[in-house]
Amino acid sequence: MAAPHVTDDVPHDECGVFGIFAPGEEVSKLVYLGLFALQHRGQESTGMAVSNGYRTMVFKDMGLVSQVFNESALNSLTGYLAIGHDRYSTTGSSEWSNAQPTYRELPGDGRRKGGLSLAHNGNLTNTNELSAWLEERTGEQLLKYEMDSTNDTQLVTALLASYGNDIDAGLAEVLPRLAGAFSLVLMTEKKLWAARDRHGVRPLVLGKFGDGWVLASETCALDIIGAQFVREIAPGEIIRVDEDGIHSSTFAKPEPKGCIFEYVYLARPDSVIADRQVQMVRERIGRQLAIEHPVDADMVMATPASGVPGAIGYAKQSGIEYGTGLVKNAYIGRTFIQPTQTMRQLGIKMKLNPIPEAIKGKRLVIVDDSIVRGNTQRAIIKMLRQAGAKEVHVRISSPPVTWPCYYGIDFSTREELIAPDKTTEQIAREIGADTLGYVSLDGMAECVDLPKSQLCAACFSGNYPIQIPSHAPRACGD
């Protein structure tokens, strides 16, 4: 687990994945566009593996999609079959060796049998058991501190590659033994696969592109290349795409536990998950927030950009005017400047700046998607008061985050979080708000409009529906 970024006080999903099989097309630029659409899911590194049917080329590096790939690089990646990956570290450190896709030569009898490339979104919780199984199968010791990639993706790649060219058999045996969350895309020189864990924690969708097929973490990546959405990959399903078309099989009975935080923050608002338009879900949560936590105020505003849908919903329900009080620098990206004390102080102002004329003398309701550590909200409220705000009332489109996530979001200890040992009133005082209100878990789930039994809300409730590491803390009564 990477350490939190000092100027980055928002939750991050681990990754975005993309795959395409499109004979007759040069797909590298399509992968580029797909990864660009999924950039919100990971900004530390990016990469792609591309095959022309005979050999695979892998290109990956640290940075944003637009920083890593240029016209020359894309033109050199020729082929009709590819997978791509955007990464934000949840396991493994932030360094080049952990960039994906991973790649392994497949074993052969004195001759090359090709290679396996793999990209993973999620987080596994039984890597010790899997490492022991790999050693039992192959004699290889692939321990965390010895891996050329210190993440669980390398371990899955090694296990599947041990089956040689019979990747279908490998998937049938390996996937049922993976605990935790995973949405995978993988490929050899001639075939493309995708798989989703039996709980469907992380999204994964299938699209049609001409005579070819596309796989992606979110529907927004289909939209950007003009692919037609077909359906979601079902929990426990394996998809294989080859020259004979598309094939589906299952490795486990579905037990849906989709991450509720995808609807609140992680997914792009123009994506669709489980037939729910994310933007509309977030607006409904904003309306619910206004019902549960009304306040007399002059203007509703958002923490841009993730708080905007909730703020719109709050304004519609409350009848309070919606306005813009903060402007976001659209070009901020991720910074690699060393985190000196000066940079810590300026980190928020690099991203957001208040509009004094819109704020001065007003009682404000500011809507955000979540509070993780409280640093961002504290800095924003200070800026708003310095700009002349009379009152600042904070409303949050999710319940208090009180438990760590083991399924692919980057808070791993309770010590990282502001809410576990504080009341709402104490948190309000700590961040400098006049009042603070969180939407209830029941209210949020009602807005998603899925049975609570089909959602994972462990970071709010502490009730983990899937195996977690043996050393991990549990909620009382678990």
Where are the domains positioned within the chain?
12-256, 276-457
Determine whether 447 is an active site residue: no
Distance CA 193, CA 240 (A): 4
Give the pLDDT band (50/70/90) at residue 99: confident
- Summarised one tens digit per residue, pLDDT across range 228-237 is 999 999 999 9
Take residue 353 and report the two structure tokens written for it. Answer: 């700046």
Distance CA 24, CA 2 (A): 41
72 known ligand binder:
no
Distance CA 191, CA 339 (A): 44
15, 220, 447, 476: which is the annotated catalytic residue?
15
> Residues 73-91: what's their mean pLDDT?
88
**Gap between the terminal Cα atoms of the chain:** 24
Q: Phi first, then psi: what are they for 317, rounded to 5°?
A: -70, -40
9 known ligand binder:
no
SS (H, E, C) 41-71: HCCCEEEEEEECCCCEEEEEEECCHHHHCCH
Distance CA 68, CA 75 (A): 14
306 known ligand binder:
yes
The fraction of the chain above a pLDDT of 70, given in percent, is 86
For 75-84, 285-294, 322-331, which range has the lowest pLDDT when averaged over its residues?
Answer: 322-331
369 known ligand binder:
yes
Distance CA 133, CA 116 (A): 19
Q: Do 12-256 and 276-457 fold alike per CATH?
A: no
What count of other Cβ atoms lies within 10 Å of the Cβ of residue 231? 9
197 known ligand binder:
no
Q: Phi first, then psi: what are they for 155, rounded to 5°?
A: -65, -45
Q: What is the pLDDT of residue 342?
A: 57
Q: Which residues of 446-455 are buried (b: 16+ CB within 10 A; e: fewer)?
A: ebbebeeebb
Q: Are 18 and 81 in contact (CB under 8 A)?
A: no
Q: What is the pLDDT of residue 4?
A: 36
Q: What is the pLDDT of residue 87?
A: 87
Q: Are 48 and 103 in contact (CB under 8 A)?
A: no
Q: What is the pLDDT of residue 284?
A: 98
Q: What is the pLDDT of residue 306?
A: 87
368 known ligand binder:
yes
- Summarised one tens digit per residue, pLDDT across range 233-291 is 999 999 999 999 999 999 999 999 999 999 999 999 999 999 999 999 999 999 999 99
Mean predicted lDDT score pLDDT of the chain: 89
CATH code 3.40.50.2020 for 276-457: yes
Q: Which CATH class is domain 12-256?
A: alpha beta
447 known ligand binder:
no
The fraction of the chain above a pLDDT of 90, given in percent, is 75
pTM attached to this predicted model: 0.90
Distance CA 451, CA 448 (A): 9
Q: Are 286 and 310 in contact (CB under 8 A)?
A: yes
What count of other Cβ atoms lies within 10 Å of the Cβ of residue 440? 16
